[in-house]
Structure formats: C-alpha cells, structure tokens
C-alpha cells in the first residue's frame, strides 16, 4: 500500500554525505527495497530554497522577480511554498513507484540543512561518512577534479565547499539531530553491507528481513536508470566491493596529502571517526600544523560563500524604493565596495594566518 508523504516529512528520508562518499551506492541498494524509491539526485530542495532567485539576465528583471516573490510570500511563505511543492513532487514519485518511503539523495544538501528541517521537521536522515582522503582520491580518479590543487590555488568553485563547510555542517547537524540521523560509515557498508542495512532499515521504519537485504545487496547493474548525477561507476558494477578503501595511499602524493590535511584538519577527521587515517598520514611524513592551517582555509571558503550570497542578493532583490530592473550607478558602486571589502578581509586573514 502506497503511503503519503506527511506534511512534516513523514515517509521522507534524506540521504546525506559529501560528493564521492558513496551515496550513489547506498541509494542504489535502498532503491531495491520494495517499500523505497530512491531516484538519482533530485536537487529539489536546493532549488526551492532559492525560490524567486533567477538569473540576472532574466528578461523580466531578476531584482523585480526576487523582490515581488519575497513580498508576496512574506516571512512564512517560503517554507509553506517549499513544503507544498516538494510534497507534491515526492508524492507523485511515490505513487508512480508504488513505494511508501521516498529517499532524496542529494549530496550538497549539506549547505541547506536548516532550511530542510524547517520545511520537513519530522523527516529522517541517513548520513554516509567516508574517509575524506578517499573522497579526495575519488574526486581525482572519477571526475579528474584535483581538490588539493583547487584549495592551494584559492579557486572559487563549489567543490572546495564540500570538504570544508560541507563537513562542518554535517558534523554539527549530526550532533543537533541525533534521534533523526543514522550514521553509516562507507568502509563498514562495503565490507559488510548486510549488517549495515540491517541496522539502517529500522531507523526509517522498515523491518530488516534477511531475504530483502540479500536482494538489496545483489543489485543488478542494469536495474537503475542512468543519470548525469551520481557515480557513473555504479552503473557498471553488479556487486559491492571494498577495492577503493584506503585508495588514497596510492593515488594522492605527499604534496596533495599535505594540502588536504591542512584544509580538513585532524580535528574534523577524528570527529568523523578517522583517527587511523590521521596516524597513517603522519607515518607518511604529513605534518600536523597548528589550528591556524585549517582555519585559514575555512576563512577563505567562508569569504567565497559570502561573496556568492552577496551576488545572489544583489541580483535578486531591490533596494528600498528603487523600481527599476537595471542597476543604478549607486547599486553598482555598493556591490563593488562589498566585493572589495571581502577581498581586503580575506587578504588580512591570510596575512594573520601566515604570521
């Protein structure tokens, strides 16, 4: 019997984890449970969190669209609108699949966790953790994305948020929502998927039947629709394996490891349950610097995030009483000043860290 997604998120599960942490693998297993539907990455809540924010080149005028929607929705309207829209979309997928639980696997939900809780306060969460060094190694081998190089060169790109702000927000969220968040370690999942699924299923209200778990683990590589999002390797495999555990040791060189260790920091890694990796890094000659190293990267990433938020706000809302779609000279000057101020603050933060 198909159940409905409740107004507060009953029947809804969010699968959390930074990109390249194995969420596609776990979602594929969950999707094979007859009561669960777990389609490839919806990204729905990220879009709804920005309701009314459109491209600065929108022909209707981005500032007019943003300001009008904000004024029309009021203080509670965004939450109510997001809840109504998301519930309708999730429910539609449930009805099409015949399932009773919808699993939304979108890694970058780490950036909007408070928004999701305000929309669906009774939703459940699964947080898949993976060794951050293996995450970075997987970025490099799967997407040819060199996180260490991006961090060292101060590249402003979404990927640098994952192992810095993303991890911090997941750690803090896990502490605040203990009863709602079930933690799974990737390494345990690939070594003993039966046991990990048996512990996970009751958390989302399902019985851990041995025959069902067996069918979830022995997934068919042709049984899941291909998507541009998620791990492309999952479509080419038909069994769970632990070949990639500890792969960072042969994939990442010493220079990359030092940069990543500086950016992530031992505290985060230990909190995540990877004290063993910290020791392995030290044995390879990677130096544990003082707290200023990860803090310097954190400040850099926060400045980039703030600059992006300023850009979005500038292009999506009107200054009071300015009913125009084109930016005035004063608006352009204010925007430039804000960006310049951010750069100055970032420069002095880096200088202070270096000293």
pLDDT by residue for the chain (355 residues), tens digit each? 446 899 899 999 999 999 999 999 999 999 999 999 999 999 999 999 999 998 888 999 999 998 999 999 987 899 999 999 999 999 999 999 999 999 999 999 999 999 999 999 999 999 999 999 999 999 999 999 999 999 999 999 999 999 999 999 999 999 999 999 999 999 999 999 999 999 999 999 999 999 999 999 986 655 555 554 556 566 566 678 888 999 999 999 999 999 999 999 999 999 999 999 999 999 999 999 877 777 788 889 888 888 888 888 777 776 534 333 344 555 556 656 655 665 565 555 555 545 5
Give the pLDDT score at 323: 39
Burial-class residue 254 by CB neighbours within 10 Å (0-12, 13-18, 19+): exposed
Burial per residue of 258-289, b for 16 or more beta-carbon CB atoms within 10 angstroms, e otherwise: bbbbbbbbbebbebbebeebbebbeeeebeee
* DSSP 8-state assignment for residue 355: -
Max CA pair span of the chain: 68
Report pLDDT for 316: 77
Adjacent-strand bridge partners of 125: 14, 181
Q: Please classify residue 249 by burial: count the beta carbons closer than 10 Å to its beta carbon, then call 0-12 exposed, 13-18 middle and 19+ buried.
A: middle
Q: Which two tokens stand for residue 106?
A: 């979108």
Nearest to 148 by CA among 288, 250, 258: 258
Provide the terminal-to-terminal Cα distance of the chain, rounded to the nearest Å: 64
How far is residue 264's CA from residue 289's CA, in Å, rounded to a whole number? 11
* pLDDT in the model for residue 352: 54
Taking the C-alpha atoms of residue 335 and residue 318, their distance in angstroms, rounded to an integer, is: 13
Write out pLDDT tens, residues 41-74.
999 999 999 999 988 889 999 999 989 999 999 8
Q: What is the pLDDT of residue 320?
A: 37
323, burial (CB in 10 Å: exposed 0-12, middle 13-18, buried 19+): exposed
> What DSSP designation does 325 have?
S
Q: Which two three-digit tokens encode residue 86? A: 């998301």
Q: What's the pLDDT at 332?
A: 55
What's the fold here for domain 12-354?
Answer: Rossmann fold (3.40.50)
Q: What separation in angstroms does the CA of 329 have from each of 60, 270, 332? A: 20, 50, 5
The single-letter DSSP state of residue 4 is P
* Strand duo 101-105 + 124-129: pairing: unpaired
pTM: 0.85
d(CA 345, CA 31) in angstroms, rounded, equals: 47
The pLDDT score that the predictor gives to residue 212 is 96
What's the token pair of residue 323? 């009913």
280, HSE (Cβ side, Cα atoms, 13 Å): 15
DSSP sequence for 78-128: HHHHHHHHHHHHHHHHHHHHT-SEEEEE-GGGGGGHHHHHHH-TT-EEEEE
């Amino acid at each position: 019997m198909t159940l409905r997604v409740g107004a507060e998120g009953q029947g809804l599960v969010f699968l959390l984890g930074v990109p390249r942490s194995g969420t596609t693998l776990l979602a594929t297993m969950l999707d094979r449970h007859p009561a669960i539907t777990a389609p490839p990455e919806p990204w729905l809540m990220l879009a709804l969190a920005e309701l009314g924010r459109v491209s600065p080149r929108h022909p209707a005028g981005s500032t007019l669209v943003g300001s009008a929607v904000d004024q029309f929705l009021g203080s509670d309207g965004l939450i109510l609108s997001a809840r109504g829209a998301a519930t309708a979309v999730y429910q539609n997928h449930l009805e099409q699949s015949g399932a009773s639980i919808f699993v939304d696997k979108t890694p970058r939900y780490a950036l909007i966790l408070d928004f999701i809780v305000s929309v669906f306060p009774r939703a459940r969460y699964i947080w898949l953790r993976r060794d951050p060094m293996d995450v970075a190694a997987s970025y490099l081998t799967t997407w040819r994305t060199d996180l260490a190089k991006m961090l060292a060169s101060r590249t402003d790109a979404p990927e640098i948020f994952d192992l810095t702000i993303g991890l911090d927000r997941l750690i803090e969220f896990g502490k605040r929502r203990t009863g709602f968040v079930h933690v799974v370690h990737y390494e345990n999942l690939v070594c003993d998927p039966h046991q990990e699924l048996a512990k996970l299923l009751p958390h989302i209200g399902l019985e851990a039947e041995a025959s069902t778990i067996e069918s979830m683990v022995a997934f068919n590589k042709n049984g899941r629709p291909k998507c541009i999002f998620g791990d492309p390797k999952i479509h080419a495999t038909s069994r769970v394996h632990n070949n990639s555990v500890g792969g960072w040791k042969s994939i990442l060189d010493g220079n990359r490891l030092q940069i990543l260790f500086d950016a992530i920091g031992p505290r985060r890694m230990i909190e995540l349950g990877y004290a063993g990796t910290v020791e392995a890094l030290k044995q390879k000659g990677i130096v544990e610097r003082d707290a200023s190293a990860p803090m310097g990267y954190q400040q850099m990433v926060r400045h980039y995030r703030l600059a992006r938020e300023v850009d979005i706000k500038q292009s999506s809302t009107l200054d009071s009483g300015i009913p125009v779609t084109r930016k005035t000279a004063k608006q352009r000057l204010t925007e430039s000043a804000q960006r310049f101020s951010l750069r100055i603050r970032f420069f002095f933060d880096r200088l202070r860290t270096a000293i």
